C-alpha cells in the first residue's frame, strides 16, 4: 500500500469516531477509572504501534457513545484491554463497535498478531 492509500485508509477509519471526540492521534490517554496495569498495557501496545509507524487513537468514542481502549487506524481494529473484566462480559461489546475487536489481558505478553 502506498503512502496516499494508507493516509486515506487512516482517515476513513478515523471517520468512524464520534464528532465530539477531541483526542489526538498517537497520544496515549489514561482513563481515571482504569488500573495501573491496564494503563501500562495500553502504553506498551501503543509504543509497539509507533515502532511500526502505525497510527492509533486511545479512549476513542464512537457515535453510539461507546469507548474503546485503542483504535488502530492502519488495520481497522480495536484493541480492548481486560484487567478486571471477564472475557465473557467483554465479548458482549462486539455488537457496539463498527470494526473487529481483539481482547488482550493486561498480564499477557505482547503479540504482534494483535496489531494486524
Mean pLDDT, the chain, as a whole number?
A: 92
Q: What separation in angstroms does the CA of 97 have from each of 27, 34, 47, 66, 77?
A: 21, 20, 24, 8, 10
- Mean pLDDT of the region 73-84: 93
Q: What is the pLDDT of residue 109?
A: 87
Beta-carbon neighbour count of residue 41 at 10 Å?
A: 24
Residue 54 has pLDDT above 80, yes or no: yes
Per-residue pLDDT averaged across 27-36, rounded?
Answer: 90
Domains within the chain, CATH numbers bracketed: 3-114 (3.40.1350)
pLDDT at 3: 94
Whole-number percent of the chain with pLDDT over 90: 74
Amino acid at each position: 500500500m502506498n503512502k496516499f492509500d494508507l493516509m486515506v485508509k487512516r482517515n476513513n477509519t478515523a471517520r468512524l469516531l464520534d464528532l465530539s471526540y477531541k483526542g489526538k492521534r498517537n497520544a496515549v490517554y489514561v482513563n481515571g477509572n482504569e488500573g495501573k496495569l491496564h494503563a501500562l498495557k495500553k502504553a506498551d501496545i501503543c509504543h509497539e504501534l509507533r515502532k511500526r509507524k502505525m497510527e492509533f487513537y486511545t479512549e476513542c468514542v464512537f457515535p453510539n457513545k461507546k469507548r474503546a481502549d485503542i483504535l488502530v487506524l492502519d488495520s481497522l481494529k480495536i484493541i480492548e484491554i481486560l484487567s478486571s473484566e471477564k472475557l465473557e462480559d467483554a465479548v458482549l461489546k462486539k455488537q457496539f463497535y463498527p470494526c473487529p475487536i481483539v481482547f488482550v489481558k493486561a498480564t499477557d505478553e505482547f503479540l504482534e498478531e494483535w496489531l494486524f
